[in-house]
Chains A and B, each alone.
Chain A
Amino acid sequence: MIRWDVIQGNLPLIGTKLLEHLALTLVAVVGGLVISGLAVVLIRDQPRIVALVTGFFSVVYTIPSLALLAFLVPLTHLTFLTAEIALVGYTLFILTRNLLAGLASVPRDALEAADGMGYGRTRRLWQVEVPLALPLIVAGIRIATVTTIGLVMVTALIGFGGLGQVMLRGYNFRNDTLVLVGFVLTVALGLIADLGLGWLGRAVTPWSRTRAG
């Protein structure tokens, strides 16, 4: 069923699409992290706004990917922006949720100690709160990354999709080898990201023994 000559002949395509897949994922996760990070820092002292924003993000998260793309295409057309708005949109719920949970998990004693030592708000955030929240933050990044790797496939419909394009081409030309190659590489990418970020979670927090890693 697997034809090695097909793989050999399509190696440049597969390589390009693999890189495209990684780029789409990276931009989405980094973009999502910046947006959710800013949102969390701005709103976390106002529980009502937090509930409103996380509620909105959870609705976006629940909307099926195909529908979200369909909403966006009339507005932003078949562009990279459309693909990324959708991909970033899905990371926001996961990342905000874990950023908030991470910050909430910081012991009150640590905050008081920092205040007592005269730390300002910004310094306290970066040097005390973020490091202590890292296990949950990295856990969020991990799930967001694995989820995004899967969702990138669907953006094949609007001309992107990374490895989704490889599968789609295999589907359109009844080329089972390409379908299989696209599938195996995507799943491998997801598993590698899952294991890698799991390892990173433990590596950056040698002092913690949470089950977050």
Chain B
Amino acid sequence: MDFVQLVVTWFLDSAHWTGTNGVPWRLVEHLVMSSLAVVIGVAIAIPAGLAIGHTGRGEQMATAVAGLGRAVPSYALLILFVPLFGLGFSSALPALILLAIPPILVNTVAGIRDVDADTVEAGRGMGMTEREVLMDVELPAALPAITLGLRTSAVQVVATATLVALVAGGGLGRYIVDGFALRQDDRLFAGALLVAVLAVGTDRAFNWVQRRFERRSGRPAHDAFGPPVPSGSAFF
């Protein structure tokens, strides 16, 4: 009970809501860093994924990117970039972009590849150009899968943005790292709570969008970046 009180007191302290170490500013840092990485990741991964999915060329490259994306730990990437790009934001951004790409790329490719071949042929039969087939037939059908990739990617980026505080950067991870260093459990716990709520909120928000697309296209998506699960499985 004492501990809960301590944390509540931390949140109620107005000093923790103002200035560059206040919650609003740290949240803005966290969100700006994360969204910038995801937006740049999208700009790279979706066009590449559409091209690979449509032409079928480069699929092995996409598989290799997926394998590397799973094997490269985010924390390791962040630290690796410090000698190259320096501390804080300048290392964080390239690391976060690289982490954002694989789930979006892999799911975009899988989403396009899974589009019913007859539908695609029908589009061609109606005299659609390849570009029209891609943009008007394949892309709309692949939207649930692409959103799912975006969701995996965004959650991963928001989580990793927490670690940026370890390489002298900002964001909400600051409270956790400082809480550890100063042995202030209330700050530590408050930071962890903020980060957890942000990550789960991001997941839920993208999940909501994904479900809308799924209802519209009638096709449930499964994460091609995650472990394989039979489609139409009773549980997921």
Q: Which A residues have a C-beta under 8 Å from some C-beta of B? A: 50, 54, 59, 62-68, 70-71, 73-74, 94, 97-98, 100-101, 104-105, 136, 139-140, 142-143, 146-147, 149-151, 153-154, 156-157, 164, 167-168, 170-171, 174, 176, 179-180, 182-183, 186-187, 190-191, 194, 210-212
Contact = CB atoms under 8 A, between A and B. Distances in A.
Contacts of B177: 66
A29 to B, nearest CB: 13
A183 B67 CA distance: 16
Contact of B203 (A62, A149, A211): A62
Interface in B80-119: 80, 82-83
B235 A149 contact: no
Nearest to B222: A101
Contacts of B193: 67
B76 A182 contact: yes
Contact of A64 (B3, B159, B233): B159
Given A63-B200, A64-B159, A100-B235, A74 B70 contact: no
Contacts, number: 156
B72 A150 contact: yes
Number of chain B interface residues as a range = 35 or more
Contacts of A67: 162, 176, 191-193, 195-196, 199
B73 A149 contact: yes
A101 B80 contact: no
B188 A73 contact: yes
A146 B191 contact: no
Listed from nearest, the 9 A-B pairs whose CB atoms lie closest are: A190-B71, A150-B73, A64-B159, A70-B192, A67-B192, A67-B195, A143-B227, A153-B75, A101-B229
A43 B76 CA distance: 37
A126 to B, nearest CB: 21
A154 B230 CA distance: 32
A62 B199 contact: yes
B79 A142 contact: no
Nearest to B236: A97
A199 B102 CA distance: 23
A153 B236 contact: no
A104 B192 contact: no
24 contacts: A54-B236, A62-B159, A63-B200, A66-B173, A66-B177, A66-B195, A67-B162, A67-B191, A67-B199, A74-B188, A74-B189, A97-B236, A105-B230, A146-B71, A147-B70, A150-B70, A153-B73, A168-B79, A171-B82, A179-B82, A182-B76, A183-B76, A187-B68, A187-B73
